[in-house]
Amino acid sequence: MVRQVRVRGAIAIIAVVMGLFLSWGGSSAPAQVEAEAVSQPSLRELVETYYRCGDSKGRSQAASAIVSAAEGDIDKVASELPNVHLWSDQPEGGVWTIPLPSSESVEVTFRLPPDYEPVRAFPLLVVMPKPGETPQSALNAANLALGSACAPVVMIAPNRTIGGMFHERTPAANDLPALLREIRKHVHVDADSVFLFGTGAGGDAAWMAAIMYSFEFVGLVAVDSFPRVPYPEQTYTLLLPNLNELSVLSVWNAGGADGSSDVSPVAAFNRAIVDFAKRTSLPIVGVELPGAANTSVQLPEEETEAILDGRRSGVRSQVQHWFRYRGQGDCGWIRATEIAGDVWEDDQLSIVPAPTTDRDRFITDTIAEKSAFIGGRIDGQNITIETRRCGGVELRLAPGQADFTKPIIIVCNGRKRFEGLIRPSVADLLESAYEDWDFQHPVYARKTFAIRTDSPFEGP
């Protein structure tokens, strides 16, 4: 007699998640048990199912199955994240069309290393093109300039600069993080080895992308370029410290464009940046070469390899970041969720200090007042958050940052906002990895705060 076997408990949840309708025939009990054992997905397969679900309801059902299979042990689930297989074979080169939050799309030309395999995570090099330069030409120029230093690495170049301007439309400020997430979905990227490269105006864009989205990158190689901002002498003092964990190599020719001995603007700005970096211990290396501007630049091999061999080293206990738009307010374990008040969107800025005021200080303070700031420090079980012009923040705690079995105290802008236990959550772990498509930096707990009053602290 044929009878249907209904799968119970966790197996039933698994069946819902995977959309499978399982049935077995036969009257033999051992055969039924064997069929159940064969059909039950592993924890890794369940985790992979979660990330293949395109809707939140499906992910919620998958999360329930994962919790059941792991018996609520978040460490078991976290240990599977780096091992998920979510990528397929790709051609060695081609073009992806990627939609962006600004409602526009971008065409991204890519090249994969000859030994690319989806099961292995590879470094990523983002090449910013010059205006009028095709992505293919930008990749060729990067290959020629970097030589063997860029292999094996996934290389991409958008057909226009993304996130490379000091002045952006507010929706466009989310485009670069969204683009990088989509790249991580297309190919298996090592999230701790993402680099920027650009020459000329493309290098200017790479500078700005590195400064405003510093958490996304580990290194920058810029050629004959500099970050273009209003009032650079004062603005640099605010923004360049964003690069305190990002290695930078800037290479430029010293002479004027006409071959004269005059110092080019590129050289003048880079000299000032390198001098500031030395005084503030920023990891910026500058190499000035003899010759006229806009001529061929030979990158120093040792310094270039040092940048492209770099990796992000763990979670920082102290972070700080100046920015303009919410999409730029990311320090990894702490993020801005909204900007308080009106967003500074103007593309022009005119500052006229009074005759008796300190000009540098006045300009710096004016730019700081229009900008947003987020910073944080973890000292044992004490977490301190400081913000300016932020309407809300999200705290994202990783294993090892705090002891989740003991009370945690959170102070935001001088006010105690929380004291107690923060429970690790499998749901937070799974969804934070989904939001970033990053399986190397597990988030055990998330907590959000609305900022009702701004920070009383003063800028630098």
| pLDDT reported for residue 353 | 84
Is 122 within 8 Å of 141 (Cβ atoms)?
A: no
pLDDT in tens, 319-365: 999 999 999 999 999 999 999 988 888 877 888 888 888 999 999 99
| pLDDT reported for residue 10 | 42
Is 364 within 8 Å of 460 (Cβ atoms)?
A: yes
- Reply yes or no on whether the pLDDT at 35 is more than 90: no
Mean local confidence (pLDDT), 195-210: 97
| Mean per-residue pLDDT of the chain | 88
| pLDDT reported for residue 293 | 63
User: Edge to edge, what strands does the sheet with 219-223 contain?
Assistant: 93-99, 105-111, 154-158, 122-128, 189-199, 219-223, 247-255, 284-292
Distance CA 163, CA 173 (A): 6
In one letter, which amino acid is 361?
Answer: R
pLDDT in tens, 238-274: 999 999 999 999 999 887 655 556 778 999 999 999 9
Number of other residues whose CB lies within 10 A of the CB of residue 121 = 20
Q: How many CA atoms lie within 13 Å of 369's alpha carbon, on the beta-carbon side?
A: 8
Nearest to 12 by CA among 23, 3, 2: 23
| pLDDT reported for residue 31 | 52
pLDDT in tens, 276-304: 999 999 999 999 998 766 667 789 999 99
- Reply yes or no on whether the pLDDT at 121 is more than 80: yes
- Reply yes or no on whether the pLDDT at 193 is more than 90: yes
Pinpoint the alpha helices (H) of 261-340. 265-280, 301-308
Q: Between residues 29 and 365, which one has the greater pLDDT?
A: 365
For the chain, helix, strand, coil in percent to 5 are: 35, 25, 40
Mean local confidence (pLDDT), 434-442: 97
pLDDT in tens, 212-223: 999 999 999 999
| pLDDT reported for residue 18 | 45
Number of other residues whose CB lies within 10 A of the CB of residue 118 = 14
pLDDT in tens, 363-395: 999 999 999 999 999 999 999 999 999 999 999
Is 161 within 8 Å of 90 (Cβ atoms)?
A: no
- For the domain bounded by 93-308, which CATH number is listed? 3.40.50.1820
Distance CA 298, CA 430 (A): 45
| pLDDT reported for residue 345 | 82
Structure tokens at 47: 């985790």
Q: Between residues 455 and 208, which one has the greater pLDDT?
A: 208
In the chain, CATH 3.40.50.1820 sits at 93-308
Instruction: Please report which confidence band the pLDDT of residue 40 belongs to, taking 50, 70 and 90 as the band edges.
Output: confident
Distances (CA, A) of 333 to 264, 316, 319, 407: 40, 9, 9, 18
